[in-house]
Amino acid sequence: MTEQLPIAIMPGNDLLEKFTQIKSVCNKLEAQFNFQTLTANWYGDENNILLINLYLETQQFVDEEITKAHQEEISYFADDVFSVYQKEHQQVKCFIAITPAELILLAQEKKLLPRYIQVKLHKVLNLIATKLTLPHI
């Protein structure tokens, strides 16, 4: 039985269809970010572990998600990134859009995808860290 890691990266179906390597890129980054946050002491209290779900989606999906009624605390980090914090569950759901312009660039230059996603998600995790007063990674 496998236990869920604190940080999960989930690319949307539209992105999975468009970029064949995105799932493996996300799996590698998931391992990397879980290790970095562990060494930065994000999980000091084992009974109270913060779970972070990073949803990598198209801009259209993120725009639709923004319009849904969320009862939790919402933070808008940018036009293409927002998060929903469920304090009672110690969980952050973060929706990150790959904009139409970014999709065009990444489709033309597929070799940019791994580094691009790494930089974007790293920035988002540090925004979450600032919001929750955790050390940056």
User: Which of 70-84, 107-121, 122-136 is predicted with the least confidence, judged by mean pLDDT?
Assistant: 70-84
Helix (H, G, I), strand (E, B), or coil: what is residue 86? strand
Domain ranges of the chain: 7-128
CA neighbor of 55 nearest in space, from 87, 24, 25, 92 = 92
Q: Read off the pTM.
A: 0.90
The C-alpha atoms of residue 4 and residue 47 are separated, in whole angstroms, by: 14
Q: Is 85 helix (H, G, I), strand (E, B) or coil?
A: strand
| CB contact at 8 A, 80 and 59 | yes
Q: Say if residue 99's pLDDT is above 80.
A: yes
E strands, the chain, are 7-11, 51-58, 73-78, 81-86, 91-98
Locate 71 and state its tokens.
């009862």
Of the candidates 45, 44, 76, 46, the residue with the CA atom closest to the CA atom of residue 62? 76
Q: What mean pLDDT do residues 119-123 have? A: 95
How many Å apart are CA 94 and CA 91, to the nearest integer?
A: 10
